[in-house]
Structure 1
Amino acid sequence: MGTQGPTELNSHTNGSGSVDGKTEREKAIEAWLPITSSRNAKWWYSAFHNVTAMVGAGVLSLPYAMSELGWGPGVTVLVLSWIITLYTLWQMVEMHEMVPGKRFDRYHELGQYAFGEKLGLYIVVPQQLIVEVGVNIVYMVTGGKSLQKFHNTVCSDCKKIKLTFFIMIFASVHFVLSHLPNFNSISGVSLAAAVMSLSYSTIAWAASAHKGVQENVEYGYKSSSRVGTVFSFFNALGDVAFAYAGHNVVLEIQATIPSTPEKPSKGPMWRGVVVAYIVVALCYFPVALVGYWMFGNGVADNILISLEKPKWLIAMANMFVVVHVIGSYQIYAMPVFDMIETVMVKKLNFKPTRILRFIVRNVYVAFTMFIAITFPFFGGLLGFFGGFAFAPTTYFLPCIMWLAIYKPRKFGLSWWANWICIVLGLCLMILSPIGGLRQIILDAKSYKFYS
């Protein structure tokens, strides 16, 4: 019926790739793993999962990215990114079931089909893990910073509390939520997160507009040196790439939608993606353009930090951010849980039990919390992770797979579209980590560990 994932592509039972009498065991494992255990999602699940995955911490840094890019390049990069990533997302949705009777439920399974069993794993898995673990670390920082901002706004006379403790408070929620078994079980959290993302984005641009254009506002580049301007420009490209990271979980989200030959999953999935991208546009463009217009190059790397009044509204917006990144963390953690649990059960032959799941997930949450506490450089982390891994998995890896599998006519429209995306994505991948790394080094100079 097209509901079983292509387990023969990544079977670990023998070298030939056949399931070799272990079909029942394979089925039992698939029914236990978080990505394939539940396939009854509706199209609107796709919409709010994609909004939650896409609109995250990145939206709040877009005015800052605009200040480093300038009006012309900034608007161009934003619009181009929206168009390119919608196109590559459509490709991912189409490729999910391109082989009749099979579903590529995970990004690496599609990579294995396009590039070969081993090469596909080596190409996709490291990049996908960098993205998903990177996002989870950055969201730990974002959640902690937003809680701190909420506390400082509501109780400005209270004793200041270290960011470390706020990150630990944020992480404590995930020590509970991470034990929800699969994507469909976190749909309530994801829906709340999607609503929050639209809410705090609206507050961010509406409060900026209400505050008005600041006195002596400047739209020129901040850095006094040409070198600093260039590096900041590269870092801003990474910020924009980070804002479009939903591709890393799109096949896993589609895997939760039921599918038959008459009604393939790509129909409802694409409907959800279109709705999600409309919401993304409503969040991204007003925040980026209005935020930069009002504050110019004096805007903070998180727009809510630039907004001090009205206090109650800014406090509320920061709590909305907290709720949203709780949902986003779970969306990106689920494929990581799936990968770790697959290795534990299929490769290392552990029994698929609740105890295994309990240990694996708690260790992962503790790891992301520790890294976030150690390196809470919000802007630099966005730029570095944004270019290093987000650009390939979002901007051009789907295009390379499309060219490898479908082999469109040379110099035809599809061929040109894919190659343009690949070239632009490669530029993004090479340039933005340079700026991000420099920003981390600059932040690290004045940073005291665990302060």
Structure 2
Amino acid sequence: MLLPRSTATHETENHNASEQLHHRKDIGAGTLFVLKSKGTWMHCGYHLTTSIVAPPLLSLPYAFTFLGWTTGILCLVIGALVSFYSYNLLSLVLEHHAHLGNRQLRFGDMARGILGPRWDRFFVGPIQFAVCYSAEVLCPLLGGQCMKAMYLLSNPNGSMKLYQFVVIFGCFMLILAQIPSFHSLRHINLVSLVLCLAYSACATTASIYIGNTSKGPEKDYSLKGDTTNRLFGIFNAIAIIATTYGNGIVPEIQATLAPPVKGKMFKGLCVCYAVLIFTFFSVAISGYWAFGNQAAGLILSNFVDNGKPLVPKWFIYMTNIFTITQLSAVGVVYLQPTNVVLEQTFGDPESPEFSPRNVIPRLISRSLAIITAATIAAMLPFFGDINSLIGAFGFMPLDFILPVVFFNVTFKPSKRSLIYWLNVTIAVAFSALGAISAVAAVRQIVLDAKTYRLFANV
């Protein structure tokens, strides 16, 4: 008799929580339609994995070229520990407010409820939008670059330009963008989890193969450049690693969990970080070991030397296809906060979700969001430099600074406690790193400015 009673209790809690959410006056069409609270902790793990374990991890060997072995691995370990800790603090704060009957579904809701409305309007809201929409630009750009690499491998004298591949990838994202809610992406994100394991395993295997043959470059692990370039290189590398661990949408992911939410996010994070540890460390270590300070910004570029593949062509095609396919899932995941804003603006919560009143504005607004992002990617193929600046101003505060601030303000731990001072240390250290990384990013933009031109075929 105990089991049915327990199940019935949970079903009642779920129903009551859903009803309360539906009738809250501050819930608009965006939150109601996009952030449906129906998922399990396993679905949460899929969403987290897609949002963190993404193709930018293929840049980790390049980050090591500025740091070397010891500092590179140390930064990778610290990034994993601090990000896992910060995301758990964020989850605990969200669970606390949900327990009090005020479930917060967005990062902006947290900032408004904990720090005040101005923090949401002038700080958290704008930087979260910048981070998420920059991902919408980078996904078509990176996807286009992978498609171009495959094209040139099969047709070295081909005439197609990068912007054409960006447009092709954008058309694919245009279709996926119409998936109605975050929860609807759970099956796609399960496939995404498998894909990130697949291309990471391929990248690791190829690096080990090339490193064990005479095909690759001579291994040189020395740090290049003079003292100034090395110093700025270190901070650029730290920004790359921090951005790779970045998420920026933890509250929105936790919003997809069916109530009660207690403990579910921690399980989801464990799923995510099990995948993360395998992929991040295997790719970073094998890529840097194989290519040393010649590791490219995207390790896949090292698998072709002067147009000559160092591994079988079919292997390079397969790895790129895995990468391109997962990029489309990553792009759609980071589109969700934008979808919330769009439907909040153009949707009608009083009308059915799939009524013409909501479907037509949804179709138009989401399509315009993707078309704009793909156009920016095609016009500005050097957007990676700008993204480093956005990462310093965006991912650092959202993922490393605000979670510890939210926790200290919400739970008010004693100033004599270890957790209080640990949180203060993290906030101060990552604020300083964010500021210095922003300066390094601006410097890199200035150095690369002479190569910038619209629709460049890089």
Mapped contact 1:84–1:395 kept (Cα < 8 A): yes
Q: 1:32, 1:352 within 8 Å by CA — same for their partners in 2?
A: no
Q: 1:280 aligns with which of 253, 276, 279?
A: 276
Q: Give the CA RMSD over aligned residues.
A: 2.4
User: Aligned pair in 2 of structure 1 residues 113, 27: CA closer, same or farther (>3 Å)?
Assistant: closer
d(CA) in 1 for partners of 2:314, 2:266: 38
Answer with 283-292 or 424-433: which moved more: 424-433
Aligned to 2:38: 40
User: CA separation of 1:352/1:229 partners in 2, compared to 1, >3 Å: closer, same or farther?
Assistant: farther
Corresponding residue for residue 421 of structure 2:
416
Match of 1:62 in 2: 60
The farther-off stretch of 41-50 and 82-91 is 41-50
The equivalent residue for 2:92 is 94
- Structure 1 residues 26 and 78: CA distance shift in structure 2, 3 A: closer
Structure 2 vs 1, CA of residues 408 and 189 (structure 1 numbering), >3 Å: closer, same or farther? same
Contact 1:67 1:297 in 2 (8 A): yes
Deviation at 1:139, TM superposition (A): 1.4
Q: Does 1:245 align with 2:246?
A: yes
2:408 match: 403
TM-score normalised to the size of structure 1? 0.88
- 1:384·1:436 contact (CA, 8 Å) conserved in 2? yes
Q: Deviations over 1:138-190 (max 9, x none)?
A: 1121111111112222x134513111001000000121111111012122222
Q: CA deviation at 1:445?
A: 1.7
Counterpart-to-counterpart distance in 2, 1:314 and 1:408? 52
Read off the aligned partner of 2:276 and give its amino acid letter: V
Cα shift at 1:352:
5.6
For residues 439 and 6 of structure 1, the distance between their equivalents in structure 2, rounded to whole angstroms, comes to 50
Contact 2:196 2:323 in 1 (8 A): yes
Counterpart-to-counterpart distance in 2, 1:395 and 1:25: 31
> Percent identity, aligned pairs only?
29
For residue 440 of structure 1, report the CA deviation from its aligned partner: 3.1
DSSP-derived class of the 1:450 partner = coil
Check 1:448–1:5 CA distance in 2 against 1; reply closer, same or farther (3 A cut).
Answer: farther
Aligned residues: 426
Q: 1:269 maps to what in 2? A: 265
Counterparts in 2 of 1:28 and 1:397: CA distance versus 1, 3 Å: closer
Structure 1 residues 233 and 346: alpha-carbon distance in aligned structure 2, compared to 1, 3 A threshold: farther
**Alpha-carbon contact 2:347-2:358 (below 8 Å) kept:** no
Contact 1:242 1:385 in 2 (8 A): no
1:294 paired to 2:290: yes
Structure 1 position 382, deviation (Å):
4.5
Amino acid at match of 2:89: Q
Change (3 A) 1:379 1:208: farther
- Compute the TM-score of the two structures, normalised by the length of structure 2: 0.87
Deviation of 1:207 after TM superposition, in Å, equals 0.9
CA offset at residue 256 of structure 1?
1.4
- Which residue in 2 is equivalent to 1:337? 339
Residue range with higher mean Cα deviation, 65-74 or 337-346: 337-346
Give distance in 1, aligned partners of 2:379 and 2:165.
Answer: 13
Structure 1 Cα separation of the partners of residues 279 and 162 of structure 2 = 27
Q: Where do 5+ consecutive residues of structure 1 fail to align? A: 8-21
CA contact (8 A) 1:60 1:304 kept: yes
Deviations 1:202-239 (A, max 9, x none): 1111210111164532111222x222222222211111
Give the aligned residue type for 2:412: K
2:8 maps to which residue? none
1:76 aligns with 2:74: yes
What CA deviation, in whole Å up to 9, does each residue of 1:340-392 have, x standing for no partner?
32134589x9x961111112111111111121112222652453232121111
2:210 is matched with which residue?
Answer: 211
Query: Which stretches in structure 2 are left out of the alignment for 5+ residues?
Result: 1-12, 305-310
Match of 2:326 in 1: 324
